Amino acid sequence: EKGGFDHFMLKEIFEQPRSILDCMRGRIYPELGQVQLGGIKAFADKLKNIDRIIIVACGTSWHAGLVGEYLIEEYARIPVEVEYASEFRYRNPIITEKDVVIAISQSGETADTMAAIEMAKEKGATIFGICNVAGASIPRLTHAGVYTHAGPEIGVASTKAFTAQVTVLTLMAFYMAQQRGTISDVKMRELLTELETVPDKVQSALASNELVKYIAGEIKDASNCLFLGRGSGFPVALEGALKLKEISYIHAEGYPAAEMKHGPIALIDEQMPVVFIATNNSSYEKVISNIQEVKARKGIVIAIVTEGDKKVKNMVDYSIEIPDTDEAFLPLLATIPLQLLSYHIAVMRGCNVDQPRNLAKSVTVE
């Protein structure tokens, strides 16, 4: 049942080229420059007139929400807030009929996310769901939604569900942009043509497995680890840190790279591995200066770089290449080596990868 893999988590990591493809299937039309999302089609007109989107979720799904914020604001130009469901539900948030709430949940059973939906619904908001488990409680509570179609996820650490959530949010951002006329046909065709190549590029990113395993062996005894990124690399860093802490029990933190100098830089010494998302995109040069700050303090730098990169490679201790892509799709590729890194470290430390201590696959209590 693990398909020849030692753990469900590794199997699910390797399933991602297929799960991302399944998630896009029948939804993108690159030649036409169109996205179709049958699940929210009935609200296509409503989307032209909304004031704001509030994304509610927990854990990894909340990280996917942060990626969604970048994409929706960039392409559809709708203001987005991303909220922890547990915090949102106990505030007295301002919600109106012109708000759309997007609830993200792999299991569709998370108690706090369900309560947040119920509250927003009472206040008149339109609720969309992004869920993986068909027929779960959350899809039944929402007005409309888009399934991630990643297939059953058994490992407690979410991997393929995360990349599928990010894929759906990408499609939603493009769909909303299409309804609101905030994106040109030419640009849409260009983006969708590139998106179609992402599953193959995820496959190429998986080819770093052996190298990542080697790097894992070099840093497995660390007691702390930092993950840094900018732009949509920031939620990727948060997700990398969560993966590492939940399955290897190494204390890890994700930070926006520029925030480092406001505190976390004090932690850096020759024992501290620092993982950077340092791909060649709009924040490349800025990330390079952050890498210099860490190297000047003798931190051990592991960088996720774009294929063919030389500049970062020459500055860091270890680098892992991922294929070049449009910045919009960067999180889908940059996440892959981080999943593998936490997996190999956890295995080397003798941890129960698929069922980490104290954790359950779905958190049905608040």
Q: Which residues are catalytic?
A: 361
Residues 47 and 206: beta-carbon distance below 8 Å: no
3-class DSSP assignment, residue 176: helix
Positions in the binding site for ligand M6R (CB under 6 A): 58-61, 105-107, 110, 113, 156-158, 246, 359, 362-363
Q: Using alpha carbons, list the distances in angstroms from residue 328 to 51, 167, 174, 200.
A: 23, 10, 11, 16
157, amino acid identity: A
CB of 147 to ligand M6R, least distance (A): 13
- If the CB atoms of residues 132 and 179 are measured against ligand M6R, the closer one turns out to be 132
Give the C-alpha separation, 346 to 341, whole Å: 9
DSSP at 33 = T
CB of 150 to ligand M6R, least distance (A): 11
Q: Using alpha carbons, list the distances in angstroms from residue 161 to 91, 102, 167.
A: 28, 16, 10
- If the CB atoms of residues 22 and 321 are measured against ligand M6R, the closer one turns out to be 22
- If the CB atoms of residues 253 and 317 are measured against ligand M6R, the closer one turns out to be 253
CB of 308 to ligand M6R, least distance (A): 32
- Nearest Cα to Cα of residue 109 among 70, 153, 69: 153
List Cβ neighbours of 289 (8 Å cut-off, separation of 6 or more): none
- If the CB atoms of residues 156 and 195 are measured against ligand M6R, the closer one turns out to be 156
- If the CB atoms of residues 131 and 173 are measured against ligand M6R, the closer one turns out to be 131
List Cβ neighbours of 214 (8 Å cut-off, separation of 6 or more): none
Determine which helix (DSSP H) or strand (DSSP E) holds 257, and give its type and residue range: none
Strand pairing of 28-29 and 34-35?
A: antiparallel
**Cβ-proximal residue to ligand M6R, closest one:** 59
CB of 60 to ligand M6R, least distance (A): 3
CB of 282 to ligand M6R, least distance (A): 28
Phi, psi of 49 (to 5 degrees): -125, 20
